[in-house]
Amino acid sequence: MKGQAAIMEKIFTVFFMVIVLIALIIFLGVWNVLQINVEGQEVVNERAMSLMKLISTHPLLVKEASMFDDSKLEVAEGMPCEGFEKLFGKRWYAEISDIDGTKWSMCILNEKNASYDIPVNIYHKDTEKVTIGKLKVGIYL
């Protein structure tokens, strides 16, 4: 009877070790997948932030840093996306809106995206006034 109990004890020990080993493998697999998703999101965030900085300082759109010129925005809104791809890359969009509700959009598509908003100033050339606006820059996923 003692021999049979010792064998059963070893079988249970091996069984629980296998269960723990399988649980560890599953945990490490899930953790690895989550890390890959986090790194992918960091790449998207970094690209969106650098694109936001580039758009808010590029002389094609702004009068001075973070002060958009409405006359330049009207011209840029009419340009095709291919014209912007050499400057800002592919698969992005930008939307500038002022406090009065006027919007200027570039490269807008109806696709899944990640976007960020920051407040900006908008210089109105006809009235020579500066209003508050919002710059929304997004990356298509």
**What would the pLDDT profile of 74-97 be if each residue is shown by its tens digit?**
888 888 888 888 888 888 899 999
User: Quick one: which of 117, 112, 113, 119 has its CA closest to 133?
Assistant: 119
Rounded to 5°, the CA angle 63-46-80 comes to 50
- Does residue 127 carry a pLDDT above 90? no
- How many residues can be counted in the chain? 141
Q: Could you give the CA distance from residue 35 to residue 141 in angstroms, rounded to a whole number?
A: 18
Do 108 and 81 touch, CB atoms closer than 8 A? Answer: no
**What would the pLDDT profile of 23-66 be if each residue is shown by its tens digit?**
999 999 999 888 887 787 888 888 888 888 888 888 888 888 77
The residues spanned by each domain of the chain are 2-140
